[in-house]
Amino acid sequence: MSRVMAVGVFDLLHAGHLHYLEQARALGDHLVVVIAHDETVRERKHEPVTNQDLRKRMVEGLKPVDEVFIGNPPGFPIFDILPKVNPEIIALGYDQEHAEERIKLKLDECGWGHVTVTRVAGLTEDLDGTRKIIARILELAASSKDEDDA
């Protein structure tokens, strides 16, 4: 059985997330998803809209997903999760800022050089990312306010 690992924040779950996980699952037989720890999200991106436990629960409910773990908080080595997941493939989302070559080098350094790192294709819809969805909501709210003021 080939195990695939997908990683992400998965805040405000949307079609882009589902597409990413469907594509990741298609790479193997068992999909393990690692949800970013709340502190990691705060440090690297933004204040999470939903907490890590709720994000984990939401992702666990998705059909392509077999297992879900919450990642380590900042300060812990990022690759410490690998023995727990034991992946053969790490699937990266099209919009994730991870550098594939840097990940491959780190995997080699940690003794996980046999793991394949691959990037999956993105969804062709306009609203395939959390930031795009939030921007669209704000745009619609501003437009509605302008109409109300007129």
Check which CATH number belongs to the domain holding 69 and give it. Answer: 3.40.50.620
Nearest CA to 40 among 5, 70, 67, 79? 70
> What is the pLDDT, as a whole number, of residue 143?
80
Query: Domain range holding 21?
Result: 3-123
Sequence-ordered alpha helix ranges (H) in 34-77: 38-44, 52-60
Query: Taking a C-beta distance cutoff of 8 angstroms, is the pair 18, 125 a contact?
Result: no
Residue 38 located in a structural domain: yes
Residue 94 located in a structural domain: yes
Residue 141 has φ and ψ, to the nearest 5°, of -65, -40
Structure tokens at 114: 């046999």
> What is the pLDDT, as a whole number, of residue 51?
97
Sequence-ordered alpha helix ranges (H) in 11-129: 15-25, 38-44, 52-60, 82-85, 100-109
Give me the mean pLDDT over the 58-70 stretch. Answer: 97
Query: Could you read off the pLDDT of 81-115 as tens digits, one per residue?
Result: 999 999 999 999 887 877 888 999 999 999 999 99
Residue 129 located in a structural domain: no
Q: How far apart are CA 10 and CA 130, in angstroms?
A: 8
Vertex 28, ends 79 and 37: CA angle to 5°? 35
